[in-house]
Amino acid sequence: MKKLEAVIQPFKLEEVKEALKGIGVDGMTVTEVRGHGRQKGHTEVYRGQEYKVDLLAKIKIEVVIPTERLEEVLDTLTKAARTGKIGDGKIFVYDVVDAIRIRNGDRGASAI
């Protein structure tokens, strides 16, 4: 099993969700996060006081999938999340040791 952690532009969330659903990836965890890569931040001004905001709002999607589906899911996710501009985000792939469905104790790939 693999876990994908994709940090994407917030406005791409719906598209990515739909695309993943389209290929049968139903389970996911989504969090609002802040961070930055190479993208520069922006400046906010409050009553003349300037604040440089370099941690930008992003969305993090976590999905766990069977290893054999990795390339397909990566491909779908990348396409859906891409605008071609800086700030599109990144995907990190991890090995998953095990998974447990809390309701009935299912283990491994059948639990995801």
Partner 1 sequence: MKKTAFAIPLALGSAAGLFAQTATPPSPTAALEASVKAAQSAGDNAWMLTSCALVLMMTGPGLALFYGGLVRKKNVLATMMQSFTLMALSTVIWAIVGYSLSFGEGSPFIGDLRYLMLAGVGADPMPDYAATIPHQTWMMFQLMFAIITPALITGAFAERMKFNAMVLFMTLWSLLVYFPMAHMVWGKGGLLNAFLGGSIPCFDFAGGTVVHITSGVSALVCAIYMGKRVGYGSEPMRPHSLVLSFIGACMLWVGWFGFNAGSALSAGSLASAAFVTTHFGAAAAALGWSLMEWLHSKATVLGAISGAVAGLVVITPASGFVTPGAALIMGFVGGIVCYFMVVKVKAMFGYDDSLDAFGVHGAGGTLGALLTGVFATRAVNSAIGEGKGGLIDGNGGQILNQAIGVAIAWGLAIVGTLVILKICDIVCGGVRVSTQEEIEGLDLSQHGEEGYSLEG
Token pair, residue 94, equals: 């991890």
Residue placing its CB nearer to partner 1 in the complex, 22 or 41: 41
Position 47 contacts partner 1 (CB under 8 A):
yes
Per CB under 8 A, the list member of 14, 18, 32, 44 interacting with partner 1 is: 44
Q: Is 21 exposed, middle or buried (0-12, 13-18, 19+ CB in 10 A)?
A: exposed
Position 32 contacts partner 1 (CB under 8 A):
no
Position 53 contacts partner 1 (CB under 8 A):
yes
By rule CB under 8 A, what count of residues binds partner 1?
Answer: 8
Cβ at position 45, least distance to partner 1 in Å: 6
Position 102 contacts partner 1 (CB under 8 A):
no
Per CB under 8 A, the list member of 11, 26, 38, 46 interacting with partner 1 is: 46
Residue showing tokens 């940090």: 7
The 8-class DSSP code of residue 1 comes to -
Token pair, residue 93, equals: 């792939």
Q: What's 10-50 look like in SS3?
A: HHHHHHHHHHHHHCCCCCCEEEEEEECCCCCCEEEEECCEE
The residues that touch partner 1, with contacts defined as CB under 8 A, are 44-49, 51, 53
